[in-house]
Structure 1
Amino acid sequence: MSVAAGTLGCMSSAYGYASASRDRQPPLSGPRPLDELPRLARETSAENPWPVSILSQKYHDAVARWPGAWVEGQIVEINMRRATSGYITLRDNFDEISLPVMGFREFVAKARDFHQGDRVVVHGRPDVWMKATRLSFVADDIRRVGAGDLKAQIDELRKRLKGEGLFDSERKVPLPEFPGCIGLICAPQARAEGDVITNVNLRWPAVRFKVVHAHVQGQQCPPDVIAAIQHLDQDPDVDVIVVARGGGSFEDLIGFSDEGVVRAAANCRTPLVTAVGHEDDWTLIDLAADLRASTPTDAAKRVVPDVREQWQLVSGARMQMFMRMDARVNNELRLVEGYAQRPSLLHPETMLDPHERFLDDATQRLERGLTRIVDDADFTIEKLHASLTALSPQSTLNRGYAVVQTGDGHVVDDTSPIAVGDELTVTLRRGTLTATTTGVEPGH
């Protein structure tokens, strides 16, 4: 009681209280003495109330007398980033009731190896933080009971669906490069909806949206999400579907690991992108989707291109095309100029020079050949003429001889057939004579 009184004295010294009349006069300067305050709650009244600090201190003192306890539950949130203090949220194994738990250095060292979904027992004591009169459970020990029920069930479902091939990469459908319409599944008035639409419009303003609102946590989440996926998948205008939800605890995101939701995502023919939770959050729908984005903003960047980048690509392609066309034209101009500078075009008559030389050579060869042939022929004729001349009777006549022929033209080379009185023709070098035989002498 002395400790409480000391604490109260310190607390009351920080405040100034004055007795309040029924007309609620302004407080007087200086605190009211403790002995003037009501000792018990039933003694307080509108005219004589307790200060907030007194009530907070009494709560603190009352809770401080409560014994420590072991508490069993499932971790749905955990934050052990700091070495001096940490926080977890325990969820009852059966009821929708959660308990915030905090601990200090010793507790943090023990809790670092735990994760969302772990089933644990925690020892601690209740405490009231007087600054905010907030009840909390300060833990000093934590032990693992076994894998959390939900986590174990989800892991078992994951293995079974994986065995059916629902997560195979062959089932993944590539996203359209330039979607015209995006189907968006999210909670009504959710921040995720604004993040997706705003970032998509900044990157690709021409795109349209078809938004389907659904519950994204709780018992209504799975049927709503399944119906939304099937509705958008049947819409021929929708090119890609985005399922978006902001961050949340493991418990909040459990609906996206429902078997029906996973099967609806796997059977969706339209490309499906999930953006559920934060980068570290994973649900089974992420494994069945065609693409998993870390956040709704990341999903917006994945489903549409950046119009500025596309303009840069188009500008670069146009520039490259013009450069290639210019280079091609310049190359053709150089070829034409090269052709124009050729001697055959500057002096086309030079093309006839080889043919003219060929004709001249052929003419010379023909002349030489014909001359040789004529010379050979002349030589042959001269030889024949000489031979003929040498064998000609005229040559004999020229040497003074005569040819004697009978009347019928036979050459007389013997006197036997000649009789006296036969007429003979005598051919001389020049002219002929007709003679009559007056005598015949036989040859020896």
Structure 2
Amino acid sequence: MNDSQPPFNPADPPVGTKIALPDTPRPLSELPRLARETTALNPWPVALLSQHYHDAVERWPSGWIEGQIVEINNRRSNSVYITLRDSFQDVSISVNGFGPFAQMCRGFQQGDRVVVRGRADLWVKQTRLSFRGDKILKVGAGDLKAQIDELRMRLKGEGLFDSENKVPLPEFPKTIGLVCAPQARAEGDVIMNVNLRWPTVTFKIVHTHVQGPQCPPEVVEAIERLDADPDVDVIIVARGGGSFEDLIGFSDERVVRATAACVTPIVSAIGHEDDWTLIDLAADVRASTPTDAAKRVVPDVREQSQLVANAIATMRMRLESRVAGEERLVEGYVNRPSLTHPQTILEVPQRQLDDLTRRMSIALTRIVDDAQNTVEKLQATLTALSPQSTLDRGYAVVQAADGHVVDSAAAVRPGDELTVTLRRGRVVATAQDVLG
């Protein structure tokens, strides 16, 4: 039997039995001196065990430790709290210090590789073991941070982070693929907020490790599986907040390349607002938190309902305006004088016709008057030139028997029959003598 463990005592009550203990602290003299002397009826108080731990740790020697700063909190001037990660294994330790040590840490930041001198320290109140530092030295740029920066620059040079490679998110997804840890708060946040905003969505969830060496290959496999599923419209990779080392798996080159190669739109929701990993650069959309991812991938049903209501109201308003305009147009036609008093349509043409008739009458009258004056002038001219006018003045026209006018006495022979035309009537005579 191991002497470090209390021996089996047949007098101990069986499991499940309720025992009675004093309600007030017992003096140290009544408590067992060694841990192996404790029993169920005579146990050590937690404070005593914690104090024994503290006394044991106090005897440990001081020394130097080496690692990489993954978290540092030096907001207070007289204290500093650091999470130091082993440079080669997934092991970390809490380092704290006060006074001069806190001042030494002012120039250090996340990612720095350092060596720290100090000794183990146990906080009795919570039986928490840490390393109390008294000196710190920088080794150089932290290997892990330098590796991530080098990987980021190399992948950026390959174009994996280019904006033209980003795929827009579907406006109304039907199925969301979710990569997260089993029973994680991130899973509940995404599902709850998606259902609140767009209840018709279904989920296909793939659980993976979200930290540690198993994280990268499992996340890659989950992304590839969901990307190959034709029912999945968008993929969310979600993880709650954590330290730099907790999130390091999402900066793995395999995860980044799988994210960049994913044809289905993919959203990264790793950590909180200030947390950044390389998957954020390769994803089509980076969400600050899992809750933010839920808000980005689906619309708000209330907002969409309001948009539809506003569109219907706008259409109704425009239709009513159009109908009212047409009604006013019809009313305008109905009230026009051309419909209420159709005869008015003829008034203008009638005035035009009357005017044209008057103008035509005047024009015809002028034409007739001009023609009449011309006739009268011609008549006067004809009258003046007519033989009748000569006859009226007492002259006569002498014609031979053949009808020719005799204008010379030489053309008449005695005995020729002559016709003498007078003003009124004619006289037939026989020439008895020709003179001239």
Q: Does 1:184 align with 2:178?
A: yes
| Aligned partner letter, 2:156 | K
Q: Quick one: distance in 2 between partners of 1:194 and 1:43?
A: 46
Is 334-343 or 142-151 further displaced after alignment?
A: 334-343
Give the deviation of 1:159 after TM superposition: 0.6
Q: Is the 8 A contact 1:87 1:101 kept in 2?
A: yes
1:75 corresponding residue in structure 2: 69
Q: Does 1:172 align with 2:160?
A: no
Instruction: Give the secondary-structure state (helix, strand or coil) at the position aligned to 1:358.
Output: helix
Give the deviation of 1:188 after TM superposition: 2.1
Q: Quick one: distance in 1 between partners of 2:36 and 2:362?
A: 157
2:16 corresponding residue in structure 1: none
Aligned in 2, Cα 1:435/1:267: closer, same or farther, shift over 3 Å?
Answer: same
Q: Quick one: distance in 1 between partners of 2:420 and 2:25?
A: 199
1:385 corresponding residue in structure 2: 379
Aligned in 2, Cα 1:189/1:48: closer, same or farther, shift over 3 Å?
Answer: closer
Is 25-34 or 299-308 further displaced after alignment?
A: 25-34
Q: 1:136 aligns with which of 94, 118, 130?
A: 130
Q: Quick one: distance in 2 between partners of 1:366 and 1:208?
A: 92
Q: 2:275 aligns with which of 281, 288, 292?
A: 281
1:372 corresponding residue in structure 2: 366
Aligned in 2, Cα 1:328/1:83: closer, same or farther, shift over 3 Å?
Answer: farther
Give the deviation of 1:143 after TM superposition: 2.7
Q: Quick one: distance in 2 between partners of 1:307 and 1:25?
A: 59
Instruction: Give the secondary-structure state (helix, strand or coil) at the position aligned to 1:348.
Output: coil
Give the deviation of 1:349 after TM superposition: 2.4
Give the deviation of 1:406 after TM superposition: 0.8
Q: Quick one: distance in 2 between partners of 1:331 and 1:378?
A: 65
> After the TM superposition, which residues 345-356 of structure 1 pair with which residues of structure 2 at under 5 Å, given as runs?
345-356=339-350
Give the deviation of 1:54 after TM superposition: 4.8
> After the TM superposition, which residues 300-315 of structure 1 pair with which residues of structure 2 at under 5 Å, given as runs?
300-315=294-309
2:85 corresponding residue in structure 1: 91
Instruction: Give the secondary-structure state (helix, strand or coil) at the position aligned to 1:138.
Output: strand
Give the deviation of 1:192 after TM superposition: 1.4
1:8 corresponding residue in structure 2: none
2:424 corresponding residue in structure 1: 430
Aligned in 2, Cα 1:112/1:407: closer, same or farther, shift over 3 Å?
Answer: same
Q: Is the 8 A contact 2:177 2:232 kept in 1?
A: yes
- Per the normalisation by structure 2, the TM-score is 0.88
- The percentage of counterpart residues that share the same residue type is 68
Aligned in 2, Cα 1:55/1:259: closer, same or farther, shift over 3 Å?
Answer: closer
Aligned in 2, Cα 1:262/1:30: closer, same or farther, shift over 3 Å?
Answer: closer
Q: Is the 8 A contact 1:44 1:50 kept in 2?
A: no
| Superposed CA offset, 1:80-130 (max 9, x none) | 344454422222222333222222344334334433332112222222333
| Aligned partner letter, 1:366 | M
Q: Does 1:327 align with 2:329?
A: no
Aligned in 2, Cα 1:251/1:51: closer, same or farther, shift over 3 Å?
Answer: closer
Q: Quick one: distance in 1 between partners of 2:25 and 2:48?
A: 16
| Superposed CA offset, 1:205-235 (max 9, x none) | 1112111222222222222211221222222
| Aligned partner letter, 2:342 | P
Q: Does 1:265 align with 2:245?
A: no
Q: How many residue pairs align between the two structures?
A: 420
Instruction: Give the secondary-structure state (helix, strand or coil) at the position aligned to 1:416.
Output: helix
Instruction: Give the secondary-structure state (helix, strand or coil) at the position aligned to 1:135.
Output: strand
Is 405-414 or 125-134 further displaced after alignment?
A: 125-134
Is 58-67 or 413-422 further displaced after alignment?
A: 58-67
1:290 corresponding residue in structure 2: 284
Q: 2:234 aligns with which of 228, 231, 240?
A: 240
- Per the normalisation by structure 1, the TM-score is 0.86
Q: Quick one: distance in 2 between partners of 1:133 and 1:391?
A: 162
Give the deviation of 1:33 after TM superposition: 6.7
Q: Does 1:145 align with 2:115?
A: no
1:123 corresponding residue in structure 2: 117
Give the deviation of 1:343 after TM superposition: 2.8
Q: Quick one: distance in 2 between partners of 1:226 and 1:172?
A: 19
Q: Quick one: distance in 2 between partners of 1:265 and 1:33?
A: 62
Is 153-162 or 121-130 further displaced after alignment?
A: 121-130
| Superposed CA offset, 1:309-336 (max 9, x none) | 1111111121122122222222222233
Aligned in 2, Cα 1:419/1:257: closer, same or farther, shift over 3 Å?
Answer: same
Q: 1:204 aligns with which of 198, 214, 226?
A: 198
Q: Quick one: distance in 1 between partners of 2:96 and 2:427?
A: 176
Q: Quick one: distance in 1 between partners of 2:159 and 2:12?
A: 77
Is 261-270 or 214-223 further displaced after alignment?
A: 214-223
> After the TM superposition, which residues 223-234 of structure 1 pair with which residues of structure 2 at under 5 Å, given as runs?
223-234=217-228
Q: Quick one: distance in 2 between partners of 1:22 and 1:397?
A: 189
Q: Quick one: distance in 2 between partners of 1:22 and 1:409?
A: 191
Is 390-399 or 310-319 further displaced after alignment?
A: 390-399
Q: Is the 8 A contact 1:215 1:221 kept in 2?
A: yes
Give the deviation of 1:259 after TM superposition: 1.0
Q: Quick one: distance in 2 between partners of 1:222 and 1:52?
A: 40
Is 155-164 or 125-134 further displaced after alignment?
A: 125-134
Q: Which sections of structure 2, spanning at least 5 residues, go unmatched?
A: 1-10, 14-18
| Superposed CA offset, 1:379-428 (max 9, x none) | 11111111211221112222222211110011112111211111111112
Aligned in 2, Cα 1:402/1:225: closer, same or farther, shift over 3 Å?
Answer: same
1:13 corresponding residue in structure 2: none
Say what the alpha-carbon RMSD is for the aligned residues: 2.7
Q: Quick one: distance in 2 between partners of 1:189 and 1:278?
A: 19
Q: Quick one: distance in 2 between partners of 1:42 and 1:216?
A: 39
Q: Quick one: distance in 2 between partners of 1:28 and 1:401?
A: 185
Q: Quick one: distance in 1 between partners of 2:288 and 2:315?
A: 38
